[in-house]
Amino acid sequence: MKNCNGTILVVDDEQEITELIALYLEKAGYEVHASDNGPHALRLAEKLVPDLIVLDVSLGRMDGIEVCKALRQGVCADVPILFLSCKSEDQDIIRGLSEGGDDYITKPFSPSQLVARIQAHIRRRRTREKGAEEQTVTLSFTGLDIDFRSMEVRLDGEVLPLSAKEFELLSVLARQPNRVFPLEELYRRVWQSDSMGDTRTLMVHISNLRKKMEADPAHPRWIQTVRGFGYRFSTSIEDEEQSTIHN
C-alpha cells in the first residue's frame, strides 16, 4: 500500500547507503524509489515527480551536479534537492547549491538527522504552496515587486530567474525590511530546521540571490550583510514610504 507522507527519490551508486536511507524513510511513512545513476534518475524523476530528491554528488556516468541542472530544466524544477557529499567535495557542494540544490548533508551522516531534514523541506514546500493558493499579495518597493501567488520577482519590470529557496529567502527578508536577521533565525525560517547545519548553505543561496538581483553584488543595494549578526533587506526612507502590499 502506498505511503501517505510523500514520495522520495534517492540517487546514489552505493547500495548500502541507498538501502539504509530507504529503511529509515519507509519507517517514517515515505514511499521510496532508488536509482544508482544519473540518466535513470532523470527518467524516474520525470515519471514520479517526487516530493524530494536525495542526490549524491559523486555518481559514475553523470555526476550529481549535472543531474541537478537537468532536473531544474524539467518537471522537477521546484522539487527540493538535498545533496549527499563527502567532506572532500566542498567545492562540488558550492557548485551544486549554485545550480539549484536546496541543501546538503555530509557523509557519514545520522539517518535520523537526514529524515528530519527531509521532513523539514517537504513541510516547508507544502506550506509555501498552500500559502500561494490562499493569497494574492504583492509586496512592492521602488523598482522591485514580489508576487507571492505566482512566486515571481520583477526588478525594473524584468522577471528574475529565482529558485524556490532564493524566493523564500527574499520573501522572509523583504516582509520585514531593514530588520537584521541572525543566521540561525533565517536558516530556521527558510529551511524549517532547528539545526543550523553548515552556514555555507545559507551563504551560497544569499550569494546566488545577489548575483541575480544586484547591479553590483560586491556592494549590494537590497540584501546587505550586517557583519557579526546576519542579513537584512535594506530600503531607503523613500522606499519605505512608497512600499505597498496589494491584496
Same domain, 121 and 105: yes
pLDDT of residue 135: 56
Between β-strands 181-182 and 230-233, what pairing exists: parallel, antiparallel or unpaired?
antiparallel
Peptide bond into 220 cis (omega under 30): no
Q: Are residues 236 and 176 in the same domain?
A: yes
Confidence (pLDDT) at 245: 46
**Where is the domain boundary, 129, 155, 175?**
129
Does residue 196 share a domain with residue 108? no
On whether residue 118 sits in a domain, the answer given is yes
Q: Are residues 61 and 116 in the same domain?
A: yes
> 139 and 90, same structural domain?
no
- Per the structure, the count of domains in the chain is 2
Is 2 within a domain? no
Of 129, 145, 167, which closes a domain? 129
Q: How high is the pLDDT of residue 237?
A: 40
**pLDDT score of 43:** 95
Q: Which of 122, 86, 123, 119 is nearest to 104 (CA)?
A: 86
The CATH number covering residue 122 comes to: 3.40.50.2300
Q: Which amino acid is at 191?
A: W
Please report the pLDDT score of residue 137 as a whole number.
Answer: 80
CATH number at residue 181: 1.10.10.10
Predicted TM-score (pTM) above 0.85: no
Q: Which domain holds residue 165?
A: 135-246
Residues 237 and 179 occupy one common structural domain: yes
Pair (91, 52) in one structural domain: yes
Q: Which residues have C-beta within 8 Å of that of residue 53, sequence separation ≥ 6?
A: 8, 9, 10, 11, 41, 45, 71, 76, 79, 80, 81, 82
Per residue of the chain (247 residues), give pLDDT as tens. Answer: 444 689 999 999 999 999 999 999 999 999 999 999 999 999 999 999 999 999 999 998 899 999 999 999 988 998 999 999 987 777 888 899 999 999 999 988 999 999 999 998 898 888 776 655 455 588 899 899 999 888 899 999 999 999 989 999 999 999 999 999 999 889 888 887 765 556 788 999 999 999 999 999 999 999 999 998 899 999 864 444 344 444 4
